[in-house]
Amino acid sequence: MPYPSNTTSNPTPIQPIRVQPAERMLQLPEQFFASMVSKVTSRIAQGHDVINLGQGNPDQPTPPHIVAAMQEASANPVYHKYPPFNGYRFLKEAVAERYKQDYGVDLDPDSEVAILFGGKTGLIEISQCLLNPGDVCLVPDPGYPDYWSGVALAGAEMVFMPLRESNAFLPDYSELKPDELNRAKLMFINYPNNPTGATAPASFYEETIRFAAQYGIAVASDFAYGAIGYDGEPPISFLQLPGAKEVGIEFYTLSKTYNMAGWRVGFALGNAEIVRLINLIQDHYYCSLFGGIQVAAATALTGPQDCVRDLVAMYERRRNTFYGALREIGWEAKPSQGSFFAWLPVPAGYTSASLADLLLEQANVMVAPGIGFGENGEGYVRIGLLSNEERLREAVTRIGRLNLFK
């Protein structure tokens, strides 16, 4: 039965309601990268040829055999239904097998593996799982800004751990205050590191495990760039060290290793109770990944790994080309040990933001100012090695014309 029409000749206009955001929305940090992308987009719209080295978006396609697995699986009606809430066991088995082969780590697929909608999701969820208002989370500075988002959503507090070049961009736990440690429930570590490109030795992880056990702090190891190490030195997994599973978990993603950033596949691995909590919170948010994507992800993990070795070799060539070009213009910096980033000191007379603006406006090269990663990022800019060698050389040539390093 149709609703009766409004016969009033002069209806009263409906006024918009006053939308009042929840307090948690007001506590969220500013999305630093959104403003950076806006500047680049505006510059390109003006007709400029911008070399965008400011973001961390892999520039290579997903390997063909992984794409083919997805294409085949997407036609399978089994995967057109809801997947299991915690994901298919075959994918959990695949990541456990990969960790065993690459790192010698044993993982129980049922209790020590959680499937994530990309690593970023898990990095935000863990704060919501473990932190209450008034709790402290220890966060690297500089560090990945989305750590801050999860802590803010949990209503907790952050205590920053400075990463200084003088200490190989590793935190010094002795600098933390007793009252901070007594309230700390969670800490993030990230090696190979974004943004500095540093890697961590086994001795650092041993120290971290002892420190976490002493103060009852859960460790969240962000291993997003775990496949990307240089000079014949593969990065070490936190989970390789004895006691790691007793104090924390590791986040792994297929975004960088297999150029699957848009596929949104990640994992939380390790401590069974933390994995259980992440699965629990995801039960309330999601119904796991599309089954075809899970098939493709398992294919990536269990299939030939030549594509990974080739990718790392490509990044290493880019790194060597880029740093060689930097030396030619007088920009001195220590080459990255891992990840696909370069962390470069700002020349005298500039802040990280003013240098980034200058390079965009006068050289049409976009870099990420270090201040966007925390106070201790000031004095540096981050560059992504995510263009081919010719474009990387061109970017350095453009910067060199500004004579900033003479």
The fraction of the chain above a pLDDT of 70, given in percent, is: 98
In 3D space, the residue among 30, 371, 18, 398 whose CA is nearest the CA of residue 195 turns out to be 371
| pLDDT score recorded for residue 39 | 87
Q: According to the CATH classification, is domain 64-302 in 3.30.390.10?
A: no
Residue 381 pLDDT greater than 90, yes or no: yes
First to last CA, the chain: 81
Residue 9 pLDDT greater than 80, yes or no: no
Would you say the CATH fold of 64-302 matches that of 24-61+307-400?
no
Where does 24-61+307-400 sit in CATH, by number? 3.90.1150.10
The fraction of the chain above a pLDDT of 90, given in percent, is: 89
Residue ranges per structural domain of the chain: 24-61+307-400, 64-302
Average of per-residue pLDDT across 153-176: 97
Distance between CA atoms of residues 281 and 139, nearest Å:
22
Peptide bond into 142 cis (omega under 30): yes
Instruction: Dump pLDDT digits (tens) for 184-228.
Output: 999 999 999 999 999 999 999 999 999 999 999 999 999 999 999
Distance between CA atoms of residues 152 and 133, nearest Å:
9
In 3D space, the residue among 220, 231, 153 whose CA is nearest the CA of residue 184 turns out to be 220
Residue 56 pLDDT greater than 90, yes or no: no
Output the pTM of the full model: 0.93
Distance between CA atoms of residues 271 and 405, nearest Å:
48
Per the CB < 8 A criterion, the answer to whether 279 and 89 are in contact is no
Q: What is the DSSP string of 242-287?
A: TTHHHHEEEEEEHHHHTT-GGG--EEEEE-HHHHHHHHHHHHHH--
Per the CB < 8 A criterion, the answer to whether 143 and 166 are in contact is no
| pLDDT score recorded for residue 99 | 98
Consecutive H or E run containing 204: helix 202-215
Residue 404 pLDDT greater than 60, yes or no: yes
Which tokens sit at 209? 């495990």
Instruction: Dump pLDDT digits (tens) for 62-114.
Output: 999 999 999 999 999 999 999 999 999 999 999 999 999 999 999 999 999 99
Length of the chain: 406
Q: Give the chain's mean pLDDT.
A: 95
357 exposure class (CB count in 10 Å sphere: 0-12, 13-18, 19+): middle
Q: In the 3-class helix/strand/coil scheme, how is 301-339 assigned residue by residue?
A: HHCCCHHHHHHHHHHHHHHHHHHHHHHHHCCCCCCCCEC
Distance between CA atoms of residues 210 and 152, nearest Å:
27
List the 184-190 sheet strands across, edge first.
Answer: 113-116, 266-270, 248-253, 218-222, 184-190, 136-141, 157-162
Give 281-285 contacts, CB < 8 A, sequence gap 24+: 281/125, 281/128, 281/129, 282/85, 282/86, 282/114, 282/116, 282/125, 283/85, 283/86
| pLDDT score recorded for residue 2 | 61
Distances (CA, A) of 348 to 77, 342, 358, 376, 379: 61, 19, 14, 17, 9
Distances (CA, A) of 214 to 173, 208, 247: 12, 10, 10
| pLDDT score recorded for residue 200 | 98
Cα dihedral value 52, 149, 92, 217, nearest 10: 130
Distances (CA, A) of 233 to 58, 223, 238, 279: 22, 15, 15, 34
